[in-house]
Amino acid sequence: MEYSLQQWDKSWIPSLARNANDERIARYLGDAFPIPYTEEAAKRYVDAVLNSPNDIHRAIVADNEAIGCISLIRGQSIERYSAELGYWLTPRFWGKGIMAQAIEKICSIAYSQTELVRIQAKVISCNAASIRTLEKSGFTREGVLQRAACKGGVFYDLVLYAKLK
């Protein structure tokens, strides 16, 4: 499967709205990810990432459509050399190795173009596919944050993964 990581552009808004509008994506993401994912939500997201120059945001593009996204949100103050990794991919592209490759690419971009030395990700403990993807991408499990997330009124453990420069 051929795909690329591209800078966000307003032209991706329609396909972003189409491909993000799936409850299976939102199941393990933060509450800020809306369902239904409307074109207005896509526009707000693209406007926000275009106005966050300190972070790294990329569209995952295949067949001339935004099929997912991947971001590194930089830490502040004493955590300024660290970033939090976030990502999602539309379900019809799951299981093809795209996300593991995208994670490796964005880490390479970050480590070659910034002074970041640590990239971390927190995953809801029952999200086995995301855990496998991080491990495949060279991330190391550092620990479990017990009952650190609440989604739909249910508390979940978060598994902390990191990749160091």
Residue 1, pLDDT > 90, answer no
Q: How many percent of the chain have pLDDT more than 90?
A: 99
**pLDDT tens sequence across 106-142:** 999 999 999 999 999 999 999 999 999 999 999 999 9
Query: Which pair of tokens denotes residue 159?
Result: 């598994």
**pLDDT tens sequence across 75-100:** 999 999 999 999 999 999 999 999 99
Average pLDDT, stretch 30-55?
Answer: 96
| Spatial distance between the Cα atoms of 136 and 129, rounded to a whole number of angstroms | 10
CA quadruple 9, 74, 26, 88: dihedral, nearest 10: 60
Sign, CA torsion 28/31/36/37: negative
CA quadruple 90, 33, 37, 72: dihedral, nearest 10: -50
